[in-house]
Each structure stands twice: as C-alpha cells, then as structure tokens.
C-alpha cells in the first residue's frame, strides 16, 4: 500500500482527482469504480471543473458504483443513484447508460445477482475510489463479511446507521438494508484509491494499514491488493506508527 498524507480534505480531494483525471486522459474508455458518501464529493467537484476547463471527456467512460440503499429508487433524493447524478454525472459528458448503480428496488432475491451480471459484463474497474467506514467497512461490507463475498444484501450496523443519519431528516429515515458489491468484487479493480479524512476515521485507518488482515476489519484485505493508494489527512493518519 502506498500512503499519502495530506494537510486537509481539499488536498486529499485534489490528489485523488488527479489519479482519475490522468487515467481518463490516458484511457478515454476507462472503467471507473465509484463511491458515494462525503469523502469523494470534493474529488467529484474537481473532476467536473477539469472537464469544464480542460475538456477531459467521459463520453466513452463506463462507471459502476459500490452500493445502494434497499427500498430507495433513483428519484429519491437520499438514494445513491440520485447522489451520483447530482454530484458527478450531470456535470460530465458521460452518457447515463454508461453509468451503473445497483438498484435498490425490485425483487430482493435477485437484486444482487442482477448487479453481479452487470459487473461481470464490465470487468474489473481500471480504478476504484473507496471511502472507509469508522468501523472499517468498505462499500457496505460490514465487519464479519466474508472476503469471498460478491454482491449481497446487508443489514446495516447501528454504527453505520448513526454515521449516515447526518444525510437524513431523522435517524428513523435511514434505510436498514443496502445492496452492496462484495469484497471479492472490489478486489478485482486493477488499482484502488482509498480516501479518508478526520479523526473519526483514524482507528479504522490504523487497523487497515497496520493491523492483521481480518474479516473483522473489512478494509484490511486491501493489504493483499497489488496496487492501493491510501490518501488521508493528518487527522485520519494521527494514530499511525
Ligand atoms: C459509499 C460507501 C461507504 C462509504 C463510507 C464512508 O458508497 O461505500 O463505504 O465510503 O461509509 O463514508 P463517508 O465518505 O461519508 O465518510
């Protein structure tokens, strides 16, 4: 794992955006693995700014996202589908049919298999952006998830529900389930950039980098990936040896 420690969120965002922009310039038909949450918003703004100012084109890029809440459709403003449209896709020239977010609506038993079929068709991402939960989750793979997992439906932990409540009017509105790519699927990405900021993430970052590789801290599997860049601010790095 390569570690990059930055001063703050803006620097983390700039560094991460650089990886994505350089890839798309070098490989205009790249497959990008994308995430939601607060961490990548700054990076997405910079990708849009670069597209507007320098004309970097996404018309042949394909994307897939990590996860979606079960029960929310893409028109719901709390859905991850909506988030992606608002925070990234509508600012780029990417055709919406090239973008893929798991559906949270439909037959509970087939949602996961349907998304795995999409992922198989696209192949692994050239570059995957990841955030990390304060409990070490990646996507919605909570502690205890098998490293061999493919797309599946999960019950969110109380910790994740509380972390995500800030995006909702009340904690009762936070969905209790999500459909998420599994760890084995995430590990298929050729290159992974994981970003994290704030002291709230410091323990998870320490466990991920310095701790044992264990299903109790899902992100620790990244120690076994051949090409991971971890970009953090000084607070998230504060517990590292
Ligand atoms: C989002 C996702 C989650 C977040 C993680 C960190 O698609 O998969 O694993 O990356 O919960 O969230 P933020 O960035 O909001 O701290």
Identify the band that residue 174 occupies on the pLDDT scale cut at 50, 70 and 90.
very high
Q: In testing the pocket of ligand 1, which one of 12, 35, 84 has its CB within 8 Å of the most ligand atoms? A: 35
Average pLDDT over residues 36-50: 98
Pocket test for ligand 1, best of 33, 34, 38, 39 (most atoms within 8 A of CB): 39
* 178, pLDDT greater than 90: yes
Provide the pLDDT for residue 129: 98
Instruction: Give nearest CA residue, ligand 1 atom 3.
Output: 139
Residue 19 is predicted with a pLDDT of 98
Whether pLDDT at 219 is above 90: yes
Minimal-distance CA residue to ligand 1 atom 12: 37
Summarize pLDDT for 136-163 with one digit per residue, the tens.
999 999 999 999 999 999 999 898 899 8
The pTM (predicted TM-score) of the whole model is 0.96
Q: What is the pLDDT of residue 163?
A: 87
For residue 139, report the distance from its CA to the centre of ligand 1, in Å.
6
C-beta of residue 67 within 8 angstroms of C-beta of residue 36:
yes
Residue 237's pLDDT band (cuts 50, 70, 90):
very high
CB of 38 shorter than 6 A to ligand 1: yes
Task: Give all domains of the chain, ordered by start, each with its CATH number.
Answer: 2-187+202-228 (3.40.50.1360)
Contact 186, 66 (CB under 8 A): yes
Pocket of ligand 1 contains residue 181 by CB under 6 Å: no
Mean pLDDT of 20-41: 98
Q: Cα of 134 to ligand 1 centre, how many Å?
A: 9
Compute the mean pLDDT over every residue in the chain, rounded to the nearest whole number. Answer: 96
CB of 179 shorter than 6 A to ligand 1: no
CA distance 142 to 194: 16
- Indicate the pLDDT class of residue 108, thresholds 50, 70 and 90: confident
Question: Any idea what the Cα angle at residue 90 is, between residues 166 and 78, rounded to 5°?
Answer: 25
Residues that are catalytic: 67, 135, 137, 142
What would the mean pLDDT of 206-223 be, rounded to a whole number? 98
- Residue 36 near ligand 1, beta carbon < 6 Å: yes
Residue 3 pLDDT > 90: yes
Per-residue burial over 84-122, b = 16 or more CB atoms within 10 Å of its CB, e = otherwise: bbebbbebbebeeebbbbbbbbeeeeebbeebbeebeee
pLDDT category at 109 given cuts 50, 70, 90 is confident
Could you tell me which residues are beta bridge partners of residue 177? 155
Per cent of the chain over pLDDT 70 is 100
Does residue 133 have its Cβ closer than 6 Å to ligand 1? yes
Distance separating alpha carbons of residues 172 and 164, to the nearest angstrom: 11
- 79 CB under 6 A from ligand 1? no
């Amino acid at each position: 794992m390569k570690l990059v420690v930055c001063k703050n969120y803006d620097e983390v965002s700039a560094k991460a955006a650089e990886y994505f922009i350089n890839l798309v310039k070098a490989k205009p038909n790249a497959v990008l693995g994308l995430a939601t949450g607060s961490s990548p918003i700054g990076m997405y703004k910079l990708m849009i700014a670069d597209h507007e100012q320098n004309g970097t084109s996404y018309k042949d890029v394909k994307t897939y996202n990590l996860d979606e809440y079960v029960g929310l459709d893409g028109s719901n403003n709390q859905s991850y589908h909506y988030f992606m449209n608002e925070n990234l896709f509508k600012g780029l020239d990417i055709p919406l049919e090239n973008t893929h977010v798991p559906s949270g609506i439909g037959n509970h038993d087939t949602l996961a298999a349907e998304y795995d079929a999409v992922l198989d068709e696209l192949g692994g991402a050239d570059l995957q952006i990841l955030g990390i939960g304060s409990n070490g989750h990646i996507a919605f793979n909570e502690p205890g998830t098998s490293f061999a997992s493919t797309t599946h439906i999960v019950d969110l932990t109380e910790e994740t529900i509380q972390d995500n409540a800030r995006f909702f009017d009340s904690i009762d509105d936070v969905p209790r389930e999500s459909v998420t790519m599994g760890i084995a699927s995430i590990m298929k990405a050729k290159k992974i950039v994981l970003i994290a900021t704030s002291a709230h993430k410091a323990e998870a970052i320490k466990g991920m980098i310095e701790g044992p590789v264990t299903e109790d801290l899902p992100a620790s599997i990244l120690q076994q990936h051949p090409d991971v860049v971890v970009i953090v601010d000084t607070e998230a790095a504060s517990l590292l040896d």
